Structure 1
Amino acid sequence: MILDLFFPNRCINCSRIIDAELLVCSLCFEQIHFTHFDYFSENIIKEKCRLLFPVENTYGLMKFEENGLSRKLIHELKYKSRKNAGKTLAEWTVERLDFKDEKPDLLVSVPLHPKKLRERGYNQLHLFTEVLSGFYQIPYDHELIERNHYSKAQALKDKKHRLETVNPFSVSKPISGRHVLLIDDVFTTGNTISSIAWEILNAGDNRVSVLVMAVDA
């Protein structure tokens, strides 16, 4: 296309010209630090979650590094309207995550407050979740969890402020007897996931697992 000639897609790390559907070139791809976690085994996410709520299984695609490529990938997705980043990250996930015979019943991503959704124009987790749903044949529900309070991005808060957030989420409809996989972009303190998990656990006889794009550990 003509636009591709004048505005070619470039690697978000080194600026080499790459195919339109890609985020990084093959050389920079090798710099991404994937976790290689086993969904069913012990890992740092499971250890941290267990301190906050009863968790079944956990998985993180990448290690989040402040000055690394994983941060650039998440930043492109969240703040630069690169929706295709969600698709790419989902494809990398399905190449590495095997649920075996214990697939969760439902995929639920962390919601944005309606005001923030209007400001950003999209929820960066929706396409990621929908690609996973299609591949694994697991339904998703973007409406199950509501965010009750508008606040600035977690990345802009200090740790003390993040820990002070109370009951920011609620369940919008009945749910019971389900194994829910909660999906977020970056796992830091675990407080966001924990707040949602307790809402789901208290709503009925449910179980919760966790999947994140990157883990800050």
Structure 2
Amino acid sequence: MILDLFFPNRCIHCSRIIDAELLVCSLCFEQIHFTHFDYSGDHIIKEKCKLMFPVENTYALMKFEQDGLSQKIIHELKYKSRENAGNTLAEWTTERLDLKDKKPDLLVSVPLHPKKLKERGYNQLHLFTEALSKFYDIPFDHEIIQRNHYSKAQALKDKKNRLETVNPFSLSKPISGKHILLIDDVFTTGNTVSSIAWEILNAGDNRVSILVMAVDV
């Protein structure tokens, strides 16, 4: 394509020219710190979640490093309209996460407030979730959880303010007897997924598992 000649796709880390569908070159890919967590085993995310709510299984694709490559990858998806990043992250996830006999019934991603969605133009988690849904053959629902308050990005808040947010989410429809895989971008305090998890758990005989792109602990 003509645009590719004048504006070639470049690695977001080292700026080497790469294929249009890629985010990083092969050399920089080797610098990504994947967690290799056991989905049903014990690790830092499960330990933190268990202190806040009953959780089934947990998984993080990468270790989040401030000003590092994992942060650049997520910010390309979240703030720079690189929607193909969602598909790339989903591909990396499916290569590493075998759900086997622990498949959930439904995939649910953390929602944006309607005002934030209008500002950004898309929810960065939707393409990621939809790609996972297609690969694992698990349905998704983008409408089941709604965000009740508009606020500045979690990445711009300090931990104290994040913990002080009260009832930021609610269910928009009834749900019972389901195992929900709740999907977010970065796990830091766990406050966001905990708030949503309790809405799901209190709604009926439901179970919750957690999947995030990166863990920052």
Alignment correspondent of 2:138 = 138
Matched, 1:110 2:105: no
Alignment correspondent of 1:148 = 148
Given residue 176 of structure 2, which amino acid in structure 1 is its aligned partner? S
Alignment correspondent of 2:179 = 179
* TM-score, L = length of structure 1: 0.99
Alignment correspondent of 2:95 = 95
Q: Deviations over 1:88-131 (max 9, x none)?
A: 00000000001111200000000000000000000000000000
C-alpha separation in 2, matches of 1:111 and 1:164: 19
Alignment correspondent of 1:128 = 128
TM superposition shift of 1:62: 0.1
C-alpha separation in 1, matches of 2:183 and 2:159: 21
Higher alpha-carbon deviation: 65-74 or 114-123:
65-74
4+ residue segments displaced more than 2 Å? none
CA RMSD of aligned residues (A): 0.4
Matched, 1:84 2:79: no
Percent identity of paired positions between Structure 1 and Structure 2: 86
Matched, 1:7 2:21: no
Q: Secondary structure at the match of 2:200?
A: helix
C-alpha separation in 1, matches of 2:102 and 2:71: 31
* TM-score, L = length of structure 2: 0.99
TM superposition shift of 1:67: 2.5
Given residue 134 of structure 1, which amino acid in structure 2 is its aligned partner? K
Q: Secondary structure at the match of 2:194?
A: helix
Given residue 13 of structure 2, which amino acid in structure 1 is its aligned partner? N
Q: Deviations over 1:109-167 (max 9, x none)?
A: 00000000000000000000000000000000000000000000001111111010000
Unaligned runs of 5+ in 2: none
Alignment correspondent of 1:73 = 73
C-alpha separation in 2, matches of 1:12 and 1:80: 11
> How many pairs are equivalent?
217
C-alpha separation in 2, matches of 1:192 and 1:67: 22
Q: Secondary structure at the match of 2:124?
A: coil
